[in-house]
A and B are shown apart, each in its own frame.
Chain A
């Protein structure tokens, strides 16, 4: 058998990719956002319920190191040190994520706007997508609104039996664990989002889904006026999630508490507890200015900009051919 050596993407697509990335750099240069580089290998793993960092073993006598799942912790340390608004285009790594729109090693476009909130940042994301991908005007909706309008379910107030009834109505076959009374409500919502909402979002133009439930706040701050909601948002285009952003949480105490809660949930799922990133927490402790940030899947953006349906069409080599 001959060894497969050819790239996954055509050379033409790679040329287009290079050109679009240049355009992105110009976009930020014109706006005075500084490009930065931060480590790919970190002393701490990402502490998230559903993200797994690759471990890197340098020497069995030394503590393990981890490939980043996003440059977030390091970039926030730069902001705490006074960098001002920054952006980065870098590789990120996530275990077990392989599919038409996933590759365990992928490229993130991540940026932070110091002194801005998430609403201002969404305007800029919309502008970037229009300029780089040629999209039209985006629409904005809320997490609650989209569930109510598309599935007639109130994500902030529902009983597990309503989820089961909805699944029956949809003819849905959710994973077994979600059928149990004790299933996590957030996972029920995640399942519905991934299966029945996301594919319908942004058919013509990008859609921002704002105000995710507080229980899914991740690293965003909670709404001042409604503690059931967070300032987390996601942006979708052509049925695909392209980015996730926050009006960033700056409170070290709250961040540490969220890490602890995540570890408790990880343990309940039979997953290993993880070390919180002490350097990141120390930076928040010292004080990080108010800012909004977003991470976008660059390969997916380029895939859609080039009218492709698999990210491998815009990546030189993929997981299975690396």
Chain B
């Protein structure tokens, strides 16, 4: 009986296990084997370079820019996406009717093609767009949205915030719906205003949602690709260069599979480390709130 049960369990888990082996473990092992070689995947000559790829990556200006830019994006995207998604969740929560309809509506940007959205944004921000014509008529000039390092960073961050807010709002909305109404009623009887209720009840009890959104959004900052690829090519002057752009450029434009794999491994290690630090910080906040 027990063996039958075990077999059934393995059978049910097998599609996941198989896909994990095929699409995760084998590619991971392949990547790890590549990092010690200078190889373009087709040449019969595979040059062993030891830790040479790591030395090159750790002293590369391009990798350094990708590293710095990721935290720059994180500094804008993480707070931005939390404020926007929490705001949306609160808005939907307080709607008298049609909550599901609006929640799904806000989720739609998450499903939109990154390339299509980037092309629309490019049109909106083009020099002769109605938006820029308006800015020039009011302020006398319009920003060089995609050609100035400051504005380009901001535009890409705003696009990602817009894309993710609806999705993360669903996580916050689920958290909000789990907070008992009685707590707010009791607080109101004690004289707590809406702001105090928000600070003392809503925010602490949304800790699990904050935790999830923070970890997801931090991880996402290490995977930014489509928006800078389509809009800026990583420029101007590497201002919007990212880890994924660097991996793509090395592996698929320069055909340096070994070095590309090395950058990917570094990216994975730094992503893992960053998420670990964020988790520790958020968990210490959670412990103070009584969550374990």
* A and B associate: no
* Chain A residues with a Cβ under 8 A of chain B: none
